Chain A
């Protein structure tokens, strides 16, 4: 078989696609199937798993911690519109190209490159009872509301949300700026001549022109809020106080690696998979849509 002939395309295609498929099958597909299978077993990770049918799922439905974690996850997902609005408004402000706009863009983007580990450690120190945040509140005369922000069950989750917002809003700004750059200026010009401003401008001009970008970013954020916050919780709260900041992915980690309930943790994982499955398909379609 020739290496340069007409049929060489097929030969090289096999050659070039073997590594990626080998990796994806070994380290992603097989463990995925294995997770579903083990969700029907009792398994401590050491002795062989034993089949228990739907027992893990029945336990899941009666597990208060799971429902709390799920509720927290949904509260985070509900905050997504707020995250989007913040990024969108800031992107619009930067898009005005006021003096120093490049600097602002860079400043907003800065936190997004930092690891959640670093951000989490940093904010744990800043938000302590005797930390700079409370001290700043004291200075501006709000000393009365000073508290241990992450140690108080009532404020822990909202505080965690704010830290996450701090960490990612810049990414949203960059995404929306790219979207805005693709819109012809005439559209905004016409809107201005019609006297559209503020909310009307945002609602009727900006949002429709950026529909695709906003959709893309919203789906990303929701998937992200269900699957990528482990490090924040691990570093900042450990799911506490109590279960105030418990998330499904963190409960999965605790069940599997702290309590050795591997079978039950696999059921948690499968539940998480079902939760985000549809969203990820949507995400892939939005990504691949431009390929066709």
Chain B
């Protein structure tokens, strides 16, 4: 056992090396460690600062907290209304993620397993809509949503998010469904199932990994999005978390501990997704790059 381990390590060490003679493995680790410090320290700073009270922060900005407190979190949650903004964001994002699944599943199934004239054209029309960059359309979209009475209404932002997520989602699911053998669809048809039933009972269970990837990907960008949220949900009562945080920044510039607590709370959902779903996330983010 031990010998094998050594052999393996040995094989790795004499493996192929990038600049090995010059840097060496210790050098590589050093570089990686120092870059990691730059990505992790800022977040650590936020957490450490968030548990200090204001006075402790002014006395010692960088040290570890001597008497940690959770009052900043409570203040951010209620006084700065982070709690309410989290709720608003959750309503918008969860609904949009679910609707995006439904819309993209239907489109993906049609484009991968149904025979109809103009299938290729439909696929490229959907991808082609990406040519219209979101920033270009915000003004007419804004005017249109006012006319449709969707300004300051959740459905306004939800529909925009679903639309923005549709081309990529359809692309992802179309290619995934294409990998499902036609025989499965045909067998289900012989059993008397129609296409809606096949999609729901055969395709969706098989495509679960792709759906998870799409869901996480959508959750992240929708949760983090600022521009459309800022314009469409302006009222304080419907404001999303990122818009709320952007406002906090102006309001609490001098109260860094409170600001830090707010930032930490705002980042918690994505950090949790990051920890739980790292593999799926990685897959989603490299899609289209390799193969």
Do A174 and B286 touch across chains, with their CB atoms under 8 A apart?
yes
Q: B221-258 vs A: 1/0 string, CB under 8 Å?
A: 00111110011000000000010011011000000100
Do A108 and B36 touch across chains, with their CB atoms under 8 A apart?
yes
Tell which of A99, A113, A175, A265 touches B271, judged by Cβ atoms closer than 8 Å: A113
In residues 165-187 of chain B, which contact A (Cβ within 8 Å)? Answer: 166-167, 170-171, 174-175
Q: How far is the CA of A197 from the CA of B259 in the complex (A)?
A: 47
Is B67 interfacial (CB 8 A cutoff)?
no
Q: B130-142 vs A: 1/0 string, CB under 8 Å?
A: 1111111111111
Size category of the binding interface on chain A:
35 or more
Known contacts A98-B25, A231-B227; is-contact A20 B106 (Cβ 8 Å): yes
Do A107 and B36 touch across chains, with their CB atoms under 8 A apart?
yes
Do B107 and A28 touch across chains, with their CB atoms under 8 A apart?
no
Is B114 interfacial (CB 8 A cutoff)?
yes
Task: Give the interface SS of chain B, mostly helix, strand, loop or mixed.
Answer: helix
In residues 164-178 of chain A, which contact B (Cβ within 8 Å)? Answer: 166, 170-171, 174-175, 178
Do A29 and B132 touch across chains, with their CB atoms under 8 A apart?
yes
Which chain A positions have C-beta within 8 A of B20? 192, 197
Which chain B positions have C-beta within 8 A of A118? 224, 242, 245, 263, 266-267
Tell which of A29, A103, A197 touches B18, judged by Cβ atoms closer than 8 Å: A197
Q: How far is the CA of A132 from the CA of B41 in the complex (A)?
A: 11
Q: B88-126 vs A: 1/0 string, CB under 8 Å?
A: 000000000000001110110111001111010011111
Which chain A positions have C-beta within 8 A of B260? 125
Do A29 and B129 touch across chains, with their CB atoms under 8 A apart?
yes
Q: How far is the CA of A23 from the CA of B171 in the complex (A)?
A: 16
Q: B261-291 vs A: 1/0 string, CB under 8 Å?
A: 0010011001101100010011001101111
Count of B interface residues, CB-CB < 8 Å: 112
Which chain A positions have C-beta within 8 A of B40? 107, 110
Is A198 interfacial (CB 8 A cutoff)?
yes
- Segment at the interface with A among B26-34, B76-84, B204-212: B26-34
Do A117 and B114 touch across chains, with their CB atoms under 8 A apart?
no
Do A121 and B227 touch across chains, with their CB atoms under 8 A apart?
no
Do A20 and B246 touch across chains, with their CB atoms under 8 A apart?
no
Q: How far is the CA of A182 from the CA of B106 in the complex (A)?
A: 31
The distance from the CB of B164 to the nearest CB of chain A, in whole angstroms, is 8
Which chain B positions have C-beta within 8 A of A8? 194-195
Which chain B positions have C-beta within 8 A of A277? 131
Do B162 and A110 touch across chains, with their CB atoms under 8 A apart?
no
Which chain A positions have C-beta within 8 A of B290? 175, 178-179, 181-182, 213
Most buried by A among B132, B135, B195, B273: B135
Is A259 interfacial (CB 8 A cutoff)?
no
Q: How far is the CA of A27 from the CA of B289 in the complex (A)?
A: 28
Which residues of chain A have a CB within 8 Å of any CB of chain B? 3-4, 8-10, 12-17, 19-21, 23-24, 26-32, 34-35, 38, 45, 90, 92-101, 103-104, 106-118, 121-126, 132, 135, 166, 170-171, 174-175, 178-179, 181-182, 185, 188-189, 191-192, 197-198, 201-202, 206, 213, 216-217, 223, 226-227, 230-231, 234-235, 249, 252-253, 256-257, 262, 265-266, 269-270, 272-273, 276-277, 280-281, 283-284, 286-288, 290-291
Q: Nearest 8 pairs between A and B by C-beta?
A: A115-B224, A188-B16, A34-B140, A16-B106, A31-B137, A31-B140, A16-B110, A107-B36
Q: Provide 12 A-B residue pairs closer than 8 Å at the C-beta atoms, listed in order of the A residue.
A: A4-B194, A8-B195, A30-B140, A30-B144, A31-B144, A35-B139, A90-B31, A94-B32, A174-B282, A197-B20, A230-B135, A284-B127
